Amino acid sequence: MFELETAANPETLRRVAIDPVTRVEGHGKVTLLLDENNKIHQVRLHIVEFRGFEVFIEGRPYWEVPVAVQRLCGICPVSHQLAAVKAMDQIAGYGPITPTAEKLRRLMHYGQIVQSHAVHFFHLASPDLLLGFDSDFTRRNIVGVALDFPEIAKQGVLIRKYGQEIIRHVSGKRVHGTGAIPGGMNKALSRAERDEMAKDIDQIITWTQGAVALVRRLHETNPGFYNRFGEFDSNMMGLVAPDGALDLYHGALRAVDAEGKTIFDQVDYSTYQSVLQEDIKPWSYMKFPHIKSLGADKGWYKVGPLARIQSASYLNTPLAEAERQIMLALGNGRPVHGTLVFHWARLIEILHAAEVIRDLLNDPELLGTNLMAERGERRHEAVGVIEAPRGTLFHHYRVNDDDLVTYCNLIVSTTNNNQAMNEAIRTVAKQYLDGQEITEGLLNHIECAIRAYDPCLSCATHALGQMPLEVSLVDAGGVVIDKVTKDSAGLRHQPTGELIVL
Amino acid sequence: MNAPEQVRKLRIATTSLSGCFGCHMSLLDIDERLIELAHLVEFDRSPITDIKHCGHCDVALIEGGVCNAENVHVLRELRANSKVLVALGACAINGGLPAQRNNLDVRRCLTQVYRAEGSGEVQVPNDPELPLLLEKVYPINEIVRVDYFVPGCPPSGDTIWKFLTDLLTGRTPRIEHPMLKFD
Ligand code: SF4
């Protein structure tokens, strides 16, 4: 069992809730249980929503899946589209996709890395870093940043816009376009579209370099705080190319331990179930995966920017690799595990993605018109994996002879980070809140630890939940339109103690 | 658009119920106009602010349908506190993709999803901290009165901008081709 996961005697403790967790994507809340001396006994991040995608996607035709599953998440729809289509390429019997199709998919994916990381850093997280963790909460948002730091806000907005425009050029829409289809892509890129994107890329690279420098300076101003906040050891996992370089579109799985030593490497991702296992806990709709060989207590891991740029051997673009080396120097040869270093790693990845985009835009093959692969034998089962902005994303499907999906299993990026996020908030609770009078600013420290992971809680809530009590839903005219009944065990009880409403 | 100095800032609340945040992403897709908007409006409760419960607002933008008891609660809070409530996007208007689960038996889904690997034991999360789930996903107008419906999955940034600036300047919001889209 994990420290601070379950209090011995919850009924005697006071409950404090952060509900909802804000400036993150999706629905979550944190509960703390404290005794009369404000000593903390339990800290949990609950994922409180359910969606049911894995179940209702069954029975749908396979070609519909890539566009349907993007509706899991409006921040990283491209990741879901591409992970699904990588599985469906194989199901539909296509061989390797054409070089042009792969480059278009990469362009769209790296465009999404830029937009998603930008929205996370500038629109959601920067208010804490620029205005202060315990600054006035009514101003602690992108509007406050726009008023106090107009130039940074403007660059953030324009970096995100650039990523969104790349997605639109390739897939037709900024959010929930099409683009990738089983076997390739549905539209070639015109020279005019390419030139439109190429004209701003140097500016974007300059701005993203500026953003990396901004975070580096923040760490320099207060290294003790930035490097130690929510610091804890864990394993890390990500996709790497055959030579160990980070590859966000395609590769094999590598996991390293807290010291950076290899746990497994070059694992074919279609065998993910042989290395990973998911556990269920009664207090969250999100499951808890771990590395099978190490067991639940020792096998949990981190994914996402901080984990993958440290588990990969190098970044294959020069500016980002130089910045990565500066970040790694923090650890003196050991991987760095500070929760706030996630922001630094994320911005290094934006720079990396911008460099990759520049190289793709300079590649004549990008404008090719050979978009569809040769078709061979149909398959009944396939796995598609991609490094989404938030980490490794698994899509696994079975499809029958009538082209209908019969099985779907998703491990979304944020689910991989479930235990790590709980560990982060427990560490911060011990560092800053234990024994203190709980204030809004202190509670925001907990949220800052969650935000550093850039969790996507709507992705993570694909599973369905339970309905243990009776609740009637009455419409505006007083008519009962839904009724939920109590479960047979009747175990539901009220949360203990007082609820602090912020 | 130039805002006369004396005009009070409009107060806007936003929320995502059972949605994917794509409609909120589209709100951010107004790009540079977001900074202009920052001078014209104040945000109240929203996933992009740290205000957890809403006060009196002029406009509430609702993304997503209603899938659990907490969604009902939040939706009613926003309706009670806002003058104009807007169903933003397909999910708020008709449930959207999450409403596909309406054809399924919820119990069967639960046992399927929460069956432990290996032992095969079913362990459905049931902690009191998890909100109660409704049998179906509902469009928001089945729960509260809705003043405007803005279609699209998601409505584009330009569409949202047109809608908001119409409201801000006191015009009746009007969205026409090519901004009126359903995909
Ligand atoms: S309408 Fe579309 S974009 Fe908006 S929340 Fe629903 S699925 Fe997402």
Task: Name the pTM for this structure.
Answer: 0.91
- Of A108-122, A335-349, A427-441, which range is least confident? A427-441
Question: For atom 7 of ligand 1, which residue has the closest CA?
Answer: A71
Closest CA to A386 of A42, A12, A76: A76
Any B CB within 8 A of A15 CB = no
- The amino acid present at B69, given as its one-letter code, is A
Q: pLDDT higher for A89 or A288?
A: A89
pLDDT of residue A304: 97
Q: pLDDT higher for B5 or A67?
A: A67
| Rounded mean pLDDT, A220-236 | 94
| Rounded mean pLDDT, A435-450 | 91
Please state, for a pLDDT cut of 70, what percent of chain A lies above it.
Answer: 91
pLDDT in tens, B19-48: 999 999 999 999 999 988 888 899 999 999
Q: pLDDT higher for A49 or A228?
A: A228
The overall longest dimension of chain B from CA atoms, in Å, is 67
The residues, any chain, with a CB within 8 Å of residue A221's CB and separated by 6 or more, are none
pLDDT in tens, A6-22: 898 888 899 998 988 89
pLDDT of residue A68: 94
Q: Show the domains of chain B with their CATH numbers.
A: 10-99+137-168 (3.40.50.700)
Interchain contact, A56 vs B128, CB within 8 Å: no
| Rounded mean pLDDT, A63-80 | 93
How high does pLDDT run on average in chain A?
Answer: 89
Where does the pLDDT of residue A421 fall: very low under 50, low under 70, confident under 90, or very high at 90 and above? Answer: very high
> Does B6 score more than 90 pLDDT?
no
Alpha carbon of B84: minimum distance to chain A alpha carbons (Å) = 16
Q: Which atom of ligand 1 lies closest to the CA of B19? A: 5
- Of A24-38, A170-184, A302-316, A370-384, which range is least confident? A24-38
Distance of CA A473 to the CA centre of its chain: 33
> Does A478 score more than 60 pLDDT?
no
In terms of DSSP bridges, do strands B57-63 and B10-16 run parallel, antiparallel, or are they unpaired?
Answer: parallel
pLDDT of residue B83: 96
pLDDT of residue A114: 98
pLDDT of residue A466: 31
pLDDT in tens, B94-149: 999 999 988 887 777 777 777 776 677 777 777 778 887 788 899 999 999 999 99
DSSP, res A430: I
Closest CA to A44 of A464, A494, A450, A397: A450
Q: Where are the beta strands (DSSP E) in A345-477?
A: 381-388, 391-399, 405-411, 471-474
Q: How far apart are CA A126 and CA A132, in angstroms?
A: 9
- Binding pocket residue ranges, ligand 1, CB within 6 Å: A 71, 74, 175-176; B 19-20, 22-23, 63-64, 89-91, 96-97, 153-154
